Structure 1
Amino acid sequence: MALLGNPFVANVSKQMSPDELIQAIRVDIAGELEAIIGYEAHAMSTGDERVKKVLYHIADEERQHVGELQQLLYILCPKEMDYTEKGKQAIILQQQQNFQTPLQ
């Protein structure tokens, strides 16, 4: 949701520590995901194909932003990439076993 009225609402009053920057990027990722959900919800709720096309295109741009931010997060916090990869591999294994075995 947009916070209108105060042009300084998003300003950070100090230099962030590395840990604060990591958290800020996670918040940015969450914001991009929320934007995708919003654009797609609006696209799904209209019959105007022109509007659908534009909104889905914007949602796809937000997906690219998620990837860019995720890569920054991996650079700043390599263990984040390790956990993400472990999660991916767990699901790949589950898929290969037709989701019949419990996750570790």
Structure 2
Amino acid sequence: MGDVQFFAQPVAPGVNEYLTRTNGLEREMVKTYHLHNISPEEALEQIHRSGIINYMFNWGYSIDEQRKSLTITLSYGGGTDPEKEKEMLKQIDAFIKSIDVVSE
């Protein structure tokens, strides 16, 4: 197995950068969400129920209870297409912001 390499992929000015992780021929986008008003488990359950991530994407997650964060890893199953991965992560971003509203 090859070494794991990390490098940032900017999406747009002012938007958090997504991390791309490569391991040999495999690559995946990684994004960590720090939640304020809901638990990581609740966010994950809502992502599952919403069906926001379609069948063409392979994805996984990890939960950090202490930091109250949910990390999602995502790769496009229909070949290599970083643009589709970025677009899907933008949709997940918008969805999580809609369910974890921060009061001001």
The structure number with the bigger radius of gyration is 1
TM over 0.5: no
Bigger fraction of residues in strand: 2
Bigger fraction of residues in helix: 1
TM-score of the pair, normalised by structure 1: 0.30
TM-score of the pair, normalised by structure 2: 0.30
